[in-house]
Amino acid sequence: MKKRVIENADFLLKDSVWVSPKMYKKLRWFFVFFILILFLPWQQNIQATGKVTTFLPEGRPQEIHSNIAGRVKFWRIKEGDFVKKGDTILVLNEIKTEYLDPDLLNQTETQITAKEQSVLSYSSKVDAINDQITQLENNRNLSQGKAKNKIEQEEYKLKAEQAEYNAAVSALAIAKKQLERDSLLANDKLRSTLEVENRRLKFQDALAKKLSAEAKLKVGLNAVENARIELRNVQSEYGEKLAKAESDRYSAISSQLESEAEVSKLRNSYSNYSIRNGFYIITAPQSGYVSKTQIRGINETIKEGQAVCTIVPEGAMLAVELNVKPTDVPLINVGQSVNFVFDGWPTVVFSGWPKASFGTFPGVVYGIDNMIGERGEYRVLIQADDAKKRWPAQLKVGIGARGYMQLKTVPIWYELWRILNGFPADFYVPKSDKNSKAK
């Protein structure tokens, strides 16, 4: 095919009127050289721009914020200084009225001590009331026992009076029958008037005894009922006293719990005050360089959560984030090789012949975002390939970078034909993916 193309080129040059023999030889070799170039290998690539960043969030520039509102007392650093972790950046003065007391911690500690004594006092009161309740229960048991004994005693008396009453009733019945019998016999002149009168006197005496026994029986019944009322009165009296003592105990317990809650609240406030005292001094969270201060001068008031300066951490693991068009994302795979050109480093780039380039640095695709960015592009993270060549030690976060992601190797004529027809680059599968699919 090359021979046929050369013969066709010779034919066109020979037929040209304006071509001299010497020019003909030069043009002939030029066409041969041009045709040979068309068959040279060309590395397809995707070009994208981005900047230097870091993999770890703590390795990126971070703003140092104030945890509290305050007024700048003095600065310990200036822009460009290197600070170690824990170094003082600036010192604040308090501006809130509730924290202005210089003896705030001691005052709060005094309040805690007083409340703790109050808790002990209520605890002693609860113990005293418990003793009082125990004593009342003992007295109630004694009084109840005494009242029950009295009820039992009155019941025994009532039984005796009941028996006496029954005897009096029987005696009255007998005396009545004897009086009636003697009265009938007196009518028959079998009993004398004197005997009848004696029987009548006995009847009256039995009736009087019966009435007396009946009165005693009623008194005994009332005595038993009064004894029972006395028992209920004892139970009611001591129940009221015990209820009042229980109420006092629960009130003391409630007051004790309230005092304990206040002690806990005061201790919490004391801890908060102690921690707040540590916020007056703003320190560096990690070692790095102070790149920018957002607060100027001294005696300036800052708000809670306001940024005071920016620190660039030292020794961060650098990476590059490239912004890739959505049409190029399907051609990129994790582990794919990338060549970089960093701003500020002299380079000579041949994108199709990466080995012939000068001043480029290698990298490997580490990750691809699954969500498109605000600019309509995807973010691709690239890590350094130290096995091939180390990145410059002078690199800083934020430096611009241009990446050439290497794809398939094709002839130059194919690449020109693809560009002229507006076709995308060939889909490229890394060797590692090919081997995994084969396995």
Give the DSSP letter string of 18-45: S--HHHHHHHHHHHHHHHHHHTSEEEEE
Cα 393 to Cα 318: distance, rounded to the nearest angstrom: 10
Q: Which pLDDT score, from 0 to 100, does residue 438 have?
A: 42
Q: Which pLDDT score, from 0 to 100, does residue 437 have?
A: 43
Spell 267-294 as b/e; 16+ CB within 10 A means b. eeebeebeeeeeebebebeeebbbbebe
pLDDT per residue of the chain (439 residues) written in tens, 0 to 9: 444 444 444 444 444 444 456 666 667 667 777 777 776 676 667 778 888 888 777 777 888 999 999 999 989 988 888 999 989 999 999 988 888 888 888 998 999 999 889 889 989 999 999 999 999 889 889 988 888 888 888 888 888 888 888 888 888 888 788 777 777 777 766 667 777 677 778 878 878 888 888 888 888 888 888 888 888 898 888 888 889 989 998 998 998 899 899 999 999 999 998 998 889 999 998 888 898 888 877 888 899 989 999 888 877 788 888 888 887 777 777 887 888 888 877 665 555 555 545 567 888 888 888 888 878 888 888 888 888 888 887 787 788 888 877 766 666 676 677 667 665 665 555 555 444 444 4
Q: Which pLDDT score, from 0 to 100, does residue 268 have?
A: 93
Q: Which pLDDT score, from 0 to 100, does residue 424 have?
A: 61
Cα 139 to Cα 39: distance, rounded to the nearest angstrom: 120
Q: Which pLDDT score, from 0 to 100, does residue 92 have?
A: 92
The order of strands in the sheet holding 281-283 is 281-283, 88-93, 70-75, 301-302
Bridge partners (DSSP) of residue 29 are none
Q: Which pLDDT score, from 0 to 100, does residue 345 have?
A: 73
Q: Which pLDDT score, from 0 to 100, does residue 227 have?
A: 85
Q: What size, in residues, is the chain?
A: 439
Q: What count of Cα atoms within 13 Å lies in the side-chain half-sphere of residue 161? A: 20
Cα 387 to Cα 428: distance, rounded to the nearest angstrom: 23
Q: Which pLDDT score, from 0 to 100, does residue 13 have?
A: 46
Q: Which pLDDT score, from 0 to 100, does residue 264 have?
A: 92
**Tokens standing for 38?**
């068309």
Q: Which pLDDT score, from 0 to 100, does residue 439 have?
A: 41
Q: Which pLDDT score, from 0 to 100, does residue 219 have?
A: 86
Of 46, 60, 45, 50, the closest CA to residue 375 belongs to: 50
Spell 351-373 as b/e; 16+ CB within 10 A means b. bbebeebeebbbbebbebeeeee
Q: Which pLDDT score, from 0 to 100, does residue 2 have?
A: 43
Q: Is 56 in contact with 317 (CB distance < 8 Å)?
A: yes
**Tokens standing for 216?**
């005693």
